[in-house]
């Protein structure tokens, strides 16, 4: 029997071996090749968002499968909408999402950091260092870096009269976004919204009480903060009053109509007398429902269901302004904010179940006469709404994402009022600290620690390159300034204002955000380094 045809190949150590036909068909990689493939796949994801970093970073246009277009430079949004096929690359997508869920800001930086660590680990693997030893060295370096970042942090006064420190931090978060031209106005809105709903005793912020609504049309500077709730509905009858002062609202989940049998039914109307009886019977139900509402003292009706023209006309005749087809989530928010109870039956409606608000008004936008209902001065809750305006839907959507990042930044500072410098200054200070620690390290981990320090330099280099500066030259100059002056707040002057002191430029971010970026990036890189083979459930390995 003839020997199977094969070909000669050489492994990474130069040892020759023969690949038989059956083996050549197997596409799975293992060992060094698998590590390389995994790292390159993840690195490609990081490279795709690197150009979006910083205030001068570029935006990405993401085209969906249905042709819908999203323009953004938010790392989490870009990666979420990308069609990532490689299993290892998906880990970086999840990394960005976890940073977004936990911190809300720094989603681009954490992915770029992870990509830089993977690139350095590839160099170390090719030198013959085992991936697990690299992971151990990275972990040691991460602790040194986080410790140094926390050392250079400054504590801000979040309760100052004008909340200047919070506004500067929110402005830093918005500086790299599409809406950067209005960052001061949006930063003020963001700070006012978070402080309106926060619990300073518990140092907590309930984001459910901050509703962000968008309306296409108008300018970005028309964006405003409303101390209350905005509902995308209008009064059910065009002749109903557009304003209700001292509103006492009945919040109903029962429809304005006579009850219907649950089973199949048939009704024969053979004479005019029968029709009149049916009409009177229906009118009796309507009149009873109106009577119960009036007796409760309500002067505004908010209903989850729709009602026909007859019921609408009766409500108008009885001077009861009404809103119909209000969604369940909005209904609950209105009930919480106004202190009302959601009533399932008219018979259960009483004065103590009514929601109270100082003013309910209908606002009309543009020539298309689009209406929204604004409920203000809700005494029972601190709920607020940010009404975002923009020239098109893409601008409105991006402004919503930007405000989310700014809100998260302010929330983090309420929880932990320490700030660290932006402009890559934190990373450069951490890099110098890790290099100093690596020189004292006696084990092979010193190589991994030096690689970690080198990876930290990628962040300020990317910021400098995206701002049109010479990356390596700028970073070398700033490191020299940090070492000679002992001030770790010198970073990349992205806006070229003439000073590199980030405190003087008011460019800083939450310490919790930076620490989380370093720790999460290190954890994911450790996970990727420990993977040497990617198997699928369809793989069959013959004995």
Residue 271, pLDDT above cutoff 80: yes
DSSP collapsed to 3 states, 330-378? HHHHHHHHHCCCEECCHHHCCHHHCEEEEEEEEEEECCCCEEEEEEEEE
User: Given this model, what pLDDT does residue 420 score?
Assistant: 92
Residue 23, pLDDT above cutoff 50: no
- CATH 1.10.560.10 range(s) for the chain read 31-155+420-529
Distance CA 460, CA 478 (A): 10
**Which residues on neighbouring strands pair with residue 9, listed in sequence order?**
17
Distance CA 155, CA 153 (A): 7
Which of the residues 234, 405, 445, 457 is marked catalytic? 405
Residue 365, pLDDT above cutoff 60: yes
- CATH 3.30.260.10 range(s) for the chain read 158-217+391-416
Which of the residues 70, 72, 77, 107 is marked catalytic? 107
Picking from 284, 541, 529, 508, the residue whose alpha carbon sits closest to that of residue 413 is 508
State yes or no: is 271 an active-site residue. no
- CATH class, range 158-217+391-416: alpha beta
User: Given this model, what pLDDT does residue 24 score?
Assistant: 42
Q: Cβ distance 299 to 244 under 8 Å?
A: yes
Encode pLDDT of 436-458 as tens digits. 999 998 889 999 999 999 999 99
Q: What is the mean pLDDT of residues 344-363?
A: 88
- What are the structure tokens assigned to 381, written together? 């809750």
What percentage of the chain reaches a pLDDT higher than 90? 18
Q: What is the mean pLDDT of residues 528-534?
A: 81
Q: How many CA atoms lie within 13 A of 535 on its CB side?
A: 6
State yes or no: is 234 an active-site residue. no
Which of the residues 108, 223, 385, 500 is marked catalytic? 108
Which of the residues 70, 72, 74, 457 is marked catalytic? 74
Q: What is the mean pLDDT of residues 24-41?
A: 63
State yes or no: is 405 an active-site residue. yes
Q: What is the mean pLDDT of residues 251-267?
A: 78
Q: Cβ distance 459 to 389 under 8 Å?
A: no
State yes or no: is 108 an active-site residue. yes
Superfamily of domain 228-256+285-383: GroEL (3.50.7.10)
Q: Cβ distance 293 to 317 under 8 Å?
A: no
β strands within 57-104, DSSP E: 60-63, 69-72
Superfamily of domain 31-155+420-529: GroEL-like equatorial domain (1.10.560.10)
Q: Which of 251-260, 351-360, 439-448, 522-531 has the lowest mean pLDDT?
A: 251-260
Encode pLDDT of 307-316 as tens digits. 878 888 888 8
Residue 31, pLDDT above cutoff 60: no
Name the pTM for this structure.
0.78
Task: Determine the distance from the C-alpha atom of residue 326 to the mean position of all C-alpha atoms in its chain, rounded to a whole number.
Answer: 26
Picking from 89, 35, 51, the residue whose alpha carbon sits closest to that of residue 458 is 51
Structure-derived torsion over alpha carbons of residues 291, 293, 297, 301, reported in degrees to the nearest 10: -140
- What are the structure tokens assigned to 353, written together? 């179940």
């Amino acid at each position: 029997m003839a020997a199977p045809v094969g070909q000669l190949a050489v492994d990474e150590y130069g040892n020759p071996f023969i690949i038989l036909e059956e083996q050549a068909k197997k596409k799975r990689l293992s060992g060094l090749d698998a590590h390389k493939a995994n790292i390159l796949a993840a690195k490609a994801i990081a490279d795709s968002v690197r150009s979006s970093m910083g205030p001068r970073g570029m935006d990405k246009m993401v085209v969906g499968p249905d042709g819908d277009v999203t323009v953004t430079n938010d790392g989490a949004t870009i990666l979420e909408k990308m069609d990532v096929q490689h299993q290892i690359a998906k880990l970086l997508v999840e990394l960005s999402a976890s940073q977004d869920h936990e911190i809300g800001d720094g989603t681009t930086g954490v992915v770029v950091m992870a990509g830089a660590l993977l690139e350095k680990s590839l160099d170390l693997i090719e030198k013959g260092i085992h991936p697990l030893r690299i992971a151990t060295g990275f972990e040691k370096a991460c602790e040194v870096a986080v410790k140094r970042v926390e050392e250079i942090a400054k504590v801000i006064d979040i309760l100052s009269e004008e909340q200047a420190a919070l506004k500067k931090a929110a402005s830093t978060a918005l500086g790299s976004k599409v809406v950067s031209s209005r960052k001061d106005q949006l930063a003020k809105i963001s700070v006012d919204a978070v402080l309106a709903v926060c619990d300073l005793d518990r140092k907590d912020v309930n984001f459910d009480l901050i509703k962000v609504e968008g309306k296409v049309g108008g300018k970005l500077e028309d964006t405003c903060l409303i101390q209350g709730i905005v509902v995308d509905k209008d009064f059910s009858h065009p002749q109903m009053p557009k304003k209700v002062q001292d509103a006492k609202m009945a919040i109903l989940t029962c429809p304005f109509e006579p009850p219907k049998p649950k089973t199949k039914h048939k009704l024969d109307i053979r004479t005019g007398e029968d029709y009149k009886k049916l009409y009177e019977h229906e009118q009796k139900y309507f009149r009873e429902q109106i009577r119960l509402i009036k007796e409760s003292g309500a002067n505004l009706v908010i209903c989850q269901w729709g009602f026909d023209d007859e019921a609408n006309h009766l409500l108008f005749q009885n001077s009861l302004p009404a809103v119909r087809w209000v969604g369940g989530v909005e209904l609950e928010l209105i009930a919480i904010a106004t202190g009302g109870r959601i009533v399932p039956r008219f018979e259960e409606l009483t004065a103590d179940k009514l929601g109270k608000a100082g003013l309910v008004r209908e606002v009309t936008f543009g020539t298309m006469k689009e209406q929204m209902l604004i409920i203000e001065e809700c005494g029972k809750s601190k709920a607020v709404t940010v009404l975002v305006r923009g020239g098109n839907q893409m601008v409105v959507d991006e402004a919503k994402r930007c405000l989310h990042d700014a809100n998260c930044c302010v929330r983090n500072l309420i929880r932990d009022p320490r700030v660290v410098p932006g402009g890559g200054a934190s990373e450069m200070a951490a890099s110098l600290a890790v290099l100093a620690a690596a020189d004292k390290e006696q084990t092979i981990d010193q190589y991994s620690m030096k690689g970690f320090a080198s990876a930290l330099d990628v962040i300020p280099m990317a910021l400098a390159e995206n701002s049109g500066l010479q990356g390596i030259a700028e970073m070398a100059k700033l490191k020299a300034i940090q070492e000679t002056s002992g001030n770790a707040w010198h970073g990349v002057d992205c806006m070229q204002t003439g000073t590199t002191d980030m405190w003087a430029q008011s460019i800083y971010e939450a310490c919790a955000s930076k620490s989380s970026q370093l720790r999460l990036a290190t954890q994911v890189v450790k996970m990727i380094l420990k993977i040497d083979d990617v198997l699928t459930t369809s793989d069959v390995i013959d004995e």
